[in-house]
Structure 1
Amino acid sequence: MMLLGHLLLLFGSFSFALGAFVGINIGTDLSTLPSPEQVVAILRSHRITHVRLFDADNHLLSALSDTEIEVMVSVTNEEVLRIGQSPSAAAFWINKNVAAFVPATNITAIAVGSEVLSTIPNAAPVLVPAMKNLHKALVAASLNYPVKVSTPMSMDIIPKPFPPSTATFNSSWNSTVSEILNFLRTTNSFFMLNAYPYYGYVQTNGIFPIEYALFQPLTPVKQIVDPNTLFHYDSMFDAMVDATYNSISAYNNLVIPIVVTETGWPGAGGANERDATVENAETFNNNLIKRVLNNSGPPSQPTVPINTYIYELFNEDNKPDPPSEKSYGVYFSNGSSVYTFSMDTLGDNMAKNASGGFCVARKGANKSSLQDGLNWACGPGQANCSAVQPGQPCYMPDTVENHASYAYNDYYQRMRSVGGTCDFSGTAVTTMVDPSYGSCIFTGSTNSSIGGMVTPSLGPEGPPGNISPGQVPDIWYLFLGAVVLLLV
């Protein structure tokens, strides 16, 4: 049994190194919200593998079935009180919003409330009971291993995040934070952190350079160094995560992996929000993706990747002021990008090296050139473009890039055997990743049913300790087999 314990510890540690992911938050406070099926089509078309919902919308959970997308559902702040006071209410919530959908919908985590300690401190006494009640309900449903429970915390509960080495949680929350950390440790869950360098930069009134907030290179005179550890911080994002690790460590030297459940940069703002611009949002999010997908942690925990969810999928125009609160979206409701933006960096790298498979539009290609390529493919190229016509399965998202991808691929599959190429004046690339999504099946796909898209073999994995069954590496089947032999 001691051997088994060591092996399970090793397995848990190894799971952190399988690869970082970048997911996205899906808010619904907008006037023209696409249907659940359209939302999923947008996710699939952009190869988004992880999403966080701010509630447990049953229609969207149904639409996400059979997609393999990892889903974090949320208990709203309004629900925390009832669930914290009633185990039966927690059991009902789990049965209705989790057990009813798994395994078809790949639910891997439950976020209990959102920044409860910062926004509704009076509910703090029931927060941990709510987490425990939900976990007990998961145990009763035999879902406590694949589905983890945690609660998103704001950076507001760390009064002095810099230098990171001396950061601690607000002492007024000592008892509650201690209970939360003990719960996360005993259930092998992770710490959920909402970390916004935008607010960190604005609130410090120019103490830190904006390059530091945007993941941009710092000149020697602007280097940010922790005077106690001499760790160099290339980004405020890393420093925020490290401040949280050090705050956690203050409780019995605990090391609990952190997942950043929210971060982002607004693309617009009011008159006094001059740094909320499309250019800064584009820079922040694209650099964030590169940072997270380099698969490393912050200076204090360099081997623990910083799995992260970008806030957010769409602009939520119904949110109250300030204007920046309405402007975090990275896609319009028709699926087109607000700015040049790619969630699938790994997929793009695969495409550059692929010699066959599928032909799709190159991310960031000039729209006019894409339109020319689309017109040629559907005209002289004789591609069958009926699927991208209004009302047809590949029409949404209604973007030139999406339509061009379908047309380019149809032409390529028909003509490559007689010399047809995937170039289209440099606006196309080949990929081994099946770009099919929802009921939109690309020519050449082996998938004949809805939602049969092949997951990229190099794609990001789930939150630490939350490997989906289809993501367990072959080596672990051999490893677990060896464990059985040793125990017998």
Structure 2
Amino acid sequence: MATFIRRMAIGYAFLALFLSSDTGFLLGVDSFGINYGQVADNLPPPEKVVELLTSSKITKARIYDTNPQVLSAFANSNIELIVTVENQILNQVDDPQEALQWVNSRIKPFVPQTKITEIHVGNEVFTDDDPTLIQYLVPAVVNIHNAISQLGINTNILVTTPSSQAVLDQSYPPSNGSFKSEISEIMTQFLNFLSSTKSPFWINAYPFFAYKDEPSQIPLEYVLFNPSPGMVDPVTNLHYDNMLYAMVDAVVFAIQKLGFDGIEVKVSETGWPSKGDSDETGATAQNAATYNGNLLRRQIAKEGTPLRPKMSLEVYLFALFNEDLKPGPTSERNYGLFQPDERMVYDVGLSNSKSSASSVTSGSSDPSVSLNSSARKGAENDYKSLICWVLGYLLTSTLWGRVN
């Protein structure tokens, strides 16, 4: 009887501690990261960025170069970092000696203090405006990979490249996913490298663009992860309740059609702008807060896609900051969760101790604030329910054991 009472006391003490503690919204979420772009002239120094990420419980970040100031600032931070070989130097690292020199000067001085986990060789090379870049991609990827081994650097650093959704010729329904025929030969070479090195295929996937182009044809609830009828793939009978997962599975099917299976597909960029031009339908703070808040909640649940439900989908949100020097439409400068002064553009429940959301979504009357408070509370309640279920199960098992 004493043993039983002690077990009960410990269980309820743990439950009380969990329910009363201010656990970080992203605590323990190892499938979520964020893109730290720097196309701006007003961003905080990298040291402050590390503090911001740490206070927000974000443990993974991706940058678009190998800025030594950033790499130094992230040293001993315990934040995993993905770095990038810029598109404009792919024709240089196409040479093995140049690749060796690049790794020796750009990577080796910073590891292992800085936790560099991957090197992305270029960004959206398969669909770049300069079609000549594609010929350098596979040799550059192989050379960077070999240079890491040759220099004796942590061999756990993976080498790959992110692609845009434009690499697909067909994507709807997901089972119809296939790569464009003009890139199939080089894509096959690239996939062969990924398969042999157990590296992931990264995709930049933006449901926002699909909705902006056809707002009358695509339900907003479907692209925002809100409850909706969704769609059923007529070939697989898999049900999709959001567009992002359908986009990812279309890529999985495209990879399989080239003869590869088992390559993990991850999302290197996704997000929603809080502001846009008059023709950018859906670019609002409320929609951005809803999309990103719902995405984070699914990350907490460690969801997989319908095609790979047991494989938690890794996602890097775009972006950390609004970047004032980015060219293009207004939306391009308004993807950030934070303003350059570190105020939240809107609150998606990140455990940030800085100031509250900025004037874009300030005030309790703003629907984006209440939406994300609900998303955060819902996610926390999911975990609390799980803990209660586990404790209840243990209690029932204990009592049943005593009866029998």
Q: TM-score range by the shorter chain?
A: 0.7 to 0.9
Alignment-derived partner of residue 196 in structure 1: 206
Listed as ranges, the gaps of 5+ residues in structure 1 are 1-17, 349-359, 370-488
Q: Which amino acid aligns with 1:174?
A: S
- What residue is the counterpart of 2:294 in the other structure? 287
Q: CA deviation at 1:52?
A: 0.1
From the superposition, tell whether residues 207 and 130 of structure 1 become closer, same or farther in structure 2 (CA, over 3 Å).
same
Structure 1 pair 338–19 and aligned structure 2 pair: CA distance change class (3 A) = closer
User: Aligned partner of 1:300: which letter?
Assistant: L
1:240 is aligned to: 247
Instruction: Indicate whether 1:315 and 2:322 are aligned.
Output: yes
Provide the TM-score with structure 1 as the length reference: 0.65
Deviation of 1:113 after TM superposition, in Å, equals 0.6
SS at match of 2:42: coil
Which residue is 2:123 aligned to?
114
Residue 174 (structure 2) aligned to one of 148, 155, 164 = 164
Aligned to 1:186: 196
Query: Are the equivalent residues in 2 in contact too, given 1:266–1:278 (CA < 8 A)?
Result: yes
Q: For residue 50 of structure 2, what is the aligned residue in structure 1?
A: 40
Report if the CA contact (8 A) 2:191-2:260 is conserved. no
- Mapped pair 1:334 → 2:344: no
- Counterpart of 2:328 in 1: which secondary structure? coil
8 Å CA contact retained: 2:344, 2:356:
no
Distance 1:154 1:275, change over 3 A: same
Cross-structure match for 1:258: 265
8 Å contact kept, 1:155–1:193: yes
Q: How does 1:470-481 map to 2 (within 5 A)?
A: none
Percent of counterpart pairs with the same letter? 38
Q: Which residue does 1:299 correspond to in 2?
A: 306
Name the SS of the counterpart of 1:159 in structure 2: strand
Rounded Cα–Cα distance in structure 2 between residues aligned with 1:143 and 1:343: 34
Question: Normalization by structure 2: what TM-score?
Answer: 0.79
Q: 1:54 to 1:272 in 2, by over 3 A?
A: same
**Counterparts of 2:354 and 2:144 in 1: how far apart (Å)?**
44
What is the Cα deviation at residue 143 of structure 1?
3.0
One-letter amino acid of the counterpart of residue 345, structure 2: V
Question: d(CA) in 2 for partners of 1:332 and 1:90?
Answer: 36
- Displacement after TM superposition at 1:100 (Å): 0.8
Stretches of 4+ aligned residues off by more than 3 angstroms: 360-364, 366-369
SS at match of 2:170: coil
Contact map agreement 1:318 1:326 (CA 8 A) in 2 = yes
Distance in 2, Cα, partners of 1:56 & 1:174 = 30
What SS class does the counterpart of residue 145 from structure 1 fall into? Answer: coil
1:38 is displaced (CA, Å) by: 1.4
Distance 2:182 2:292 in 1: 34
Alpha-carbon offset, residue 253 of structure 1:
4.0
Q: Does 1:152 pair with 2:162?
A: yes
Please state how far the C-alpha of 1:50 moved relative to its aligned partner. Answer: 0.2
Structure 1 distance, partners of 2:146, 2:363, is: 56
| Equivalent pair of 1:20/1:305 in contact (CA under 8 Å) | no
Tell me by how many angstroms 1:108 deviates. 0.3
